[in-house]
Amino acid sequence: MLDPLAPPPQWLRAYTEPWAEYLNLPTLSEHIHEILAAFLFYQFIHSYLSPWLSTVLFPRFYPHFPRRTKLNWDVHVVSLVQSTLINLVALWVMFVDRERQSMSAAERVYGYTGASGLVQALATGYFVYDLIVSTLYVKLFGVGMLFHAISALWVFSLGFRPFLNYYAPTFILYELSSPFLNIHWFLDKVNMTGSKAQWYNGMTLLFVFFSCRLVWGTWQSACVYMDMWKALKQTWSMSAASALVEPPVGSVINPMVLEQRNVTLCGIDESCIMANIEVAKFSHYTSDRVPLWLAVTYVASNLILNSLNYYWFSKMIEAVTKRFRETAAPAKEKRPEEVKESIKHEAVLEAAAKLEKEEAHFIGGELDDEKTTSAVNVGANEDLRKRRA
């Protein structure tokens, strides 16, 4: 499927192409305008829209937050908008991109579609914003968030070679749980800690996290490993046949790996013809510029992220079991149905809070609210402590 948005203006493409060639990121010049637009959009939300809209919608809370909490609030607003938008675009591409759906293993590794490039561009624009915010406020957020922003921008930028362009929408769906995680954070800040709204949101958060990060993420990780192995084996065998010698592992990619697609079924549909031709459009770049370290980088990053997801989920389970143990003693004084409902409610909230704390601790993006919280939030925290007691 072709990029649904208009191509970049010629002057911007001409300015970007030399840099894209130098960095071995040829598809970057096709999406540079989308990256810049996404960055400016998120920066506008952070600097103008979030402060204005938050003051209008939450006049009792936002204007009275200290500077750190306001900054963290604005960052969470951007994260909420970005994660919602990118997931909708990714799901749309996965359902309507017919060329992407019909890709072979080699095409899933080395091929390209403009629609998947759009997903990469929107994600890259956000990570550029994230990097700038992390750099400007490194004393507030810490170096952990800065390194997280650098690594995320690095991995997504490498997709413009193109490499694993097919999997851009697939792995973006890891972010399906992020909107609910942000909502959990917001509810804490507006005196709704322990409320039914937070409980329902927590239930959804736990289900989506388990489904998209553990079930979907593990399955798709296995798929990308198999595709990479098949594509690399095909590459090495074809290179050996053409050169009559075995090339160094990962050093040569034969352009014949991406065969010309049969466009006869498109009839006179010009967009269909162009979309099928586009799949192998950048094969002359991947013919000798995809080294083994690139595959190792993706595998290592994917393994680290999956390990973190399992670690965070184990912490959530630990929080749930801890809540059941803590409520076992006083449970005898209440009716069984009351006890069961209370345990469920507290366990879900505890698990959601644990996930928020663990993920924020990893990226370094959560500030110490015990030190920076306003008087508004103290009441919510005290109310939760009383209910638990």
pLDDT digits (tens, 9 = 90+) for 297-315: 888 888 888 888 888 888 7
The answer as to whether 280 is a domain residue is no
The answer as to whether 1 is a domain residue is no
Question: What confidence score (pLDDT) does residue 368 get?
Answer: 46
Q: How far apart are CA 113 and CA 182, in angstroms?
A: 31
Sign of CA dihedral 251, 119, 171, 95: negative
The answer as to whether 277 is a domain residue is no
Cβ count near 17 (within 10 Å) = 15
The answer as to whether 268 is a domain residue is no
The answer as to whether 267 is a domain residue is no
The label of the residue with tokens 């553990």 reads 214
Burial 202-213 (b: 16+ CB within 10 A, else e): bbbbbebbeebb
Record the tokens describing residue 93, joined without a space.
Answer: 């591409």
| Ramachandran angles phi, psi of 324, nearest 5° | -65, -40
pLDDT confidence tier of residue 330, bands split at 50, 70 and 90: low
The label of the residue with tokens 């191509």 reads 7
Q: How far apart are CA 369 and CA 73, in angstroms?
A: 12
The answer as to whether 241 is a domain residue is no
Question: What confidence score (pLDDT) does residue 376 get?
Answer: 34
The answer as to whether 27 is a domain residue is yes
Q: How far apart are CA 289 and CA 26, in angstroms?
A: 11
Q: Where are the alpha helices (DSSP H) in the chain?
A: 10-22, 28-44, 50-57, 67-96, 98-101, 105-110, 114-136, 138-141, 143-157, 168-172, 178-189, 196-208, 217-243, 270-278, 283-286, 292-326, 336-363, 369-372, 375-388
Query: In the predicted model, what is the mean pLDDT of the chain?
Result: 79
Instruction: Specify the number of domains making up the chain.
Output: 1
The answer as to whether 4 is a domain residue is no
- If you average pLDDT over residues 145-162, what whole number do you get? 84
Question: What confidence score (pLDDT) does residue 373 get?
Answer: 36
Question: What confidence score (pLDDT) does residue 379 get?
Answer: 37
The label of the residue with tokens 């204005």 reads 52
Record the tokens describing residue 89, joined without a space.
Answer: 């675009």
Q: How far apart are CA 388 and CA 19, in angstroms?
A: 58
Record the tokens describing residue 210, joined without a space.
Answer: 């388990």
Question: What confidence score (pLDDT) does residue 191 get?
Answer: 87
Reduced to 3 states, what is the DSSP secondary structure of residue 197?
helix
Question: What confidence score (pLDDT) does residue 70 get?
Answer: 93
Q: Residue 133 is part of which domain span?
A: 10-231+285-382
Q: Which residues make Cβ contacts (< 8 Å) with residue 17, sequence separation at least 6?
A: 29
Question: What confidence score (pLDDT) does residue 62 get?
Answer: 93
Question: What confidence score (pLDDT) does residue 51 get?
Answer: 95
Length of the chain in terms of residues written: 389
Question: What confidence score (pLDDT) does residue 138 get?
Answer: 85
Record the tokens describing residue 213, joined without a space.
Answer: 């990060």
More confident residue, 168 or 239: 168
